Amino acid sequence: MKISELGQRAGIPLSALKYYQREGLLPEGIRSSPNQTSYGEAHVQRVHLIRALLQTGGLSVAATKDVIAVLDAPDAPIAETFRVAQHAMGTPRTTELTPSPAARERILALAREQEWCIANDNPGIDTAARALEGLEAIGFDAPADYLGAYAAAAAEAAGADLRALASLDEPDKVAELMVVGTVLGDPLFAGLRRLAHEDATTALFPVDDTNGKQP
């Protein structure tokens, strides 16, 4: 197909496709004549992936490029692919602060309680530790049952992620869902948690106005 058809199939403007190509995210099509380049299904899939990482996942162009390079590397063991992708994705929004050793140690202790086998450089440690420090800054010293509930919730979601991966046949699809699921599981959970908050808050602190409520 022509690049204009690729844009229609993927539902994005030509200018965005050219931008993806300039940034090295989307490979060139196959040159079928001096003035004509041809695109296939692999390009449609790639555009969907780029869009999911950049726009919905909120990754930078550089991080998106790193993640795609990992996905494209042949013969990488799948756990290694996941590890490299996790680091490439980093932890958006909270990269500028280094957490205190005490906050890191609380997260490591929590991981030991869960009997999680993890590397000391898993970027999740710093992400969670920084959140803990922010809670401590307003005087909330997250108690053990609070952290335990979050760890249980994380294990539940991660279990669902892994079952979804195990249900796929093609290695390419597994790697793709690993990466995209890691990025998009965060906003999926964040959105659902806000719904659960509203439900629980309404139950605890009823308001008179019931307009627009679901049954």
202 binds its own copies (CB under 8 A): yes
* Footprint on residues 39-98 left by its own copies (CB under 8 A): 45, 48-49, 51-52, 55-58, 77-80, 82-83, 86, 91-94, 96-97
**Alpha carbons 99 and 169: distance in angstroms, whole number:** 40
33 vs 145, beta carbon nearer its own copies: 145
Residue corresponding to tokens 């307009």: 211
198 binds its own copies (CB under 8 A): yes
5 vs 189, beta carbon nearer its own copies: 189
Among 3, 67, 84, 176, binds its own copies (CB under 8 A): 176
Give the length of the chain. 215
Closest approach of its own copies to the CB of residue 7, in Å: 15
114 binds its own copies (CB under 8 A): yes
**Alpha carbons 53 and 118: distance in angstroms, whole number:** 25
Residue corresponding to tokens 């009997």: 115
13 binds its own copies (CB under 8 A): no
Nearest to 85 by CA among 159, 165, 146, 140: 165
Q: Angle of helix 123-137 relative to helix 78-89, nearest 10 degrees?
A: 40
155 binds its own copies (CB under 8 A): yes
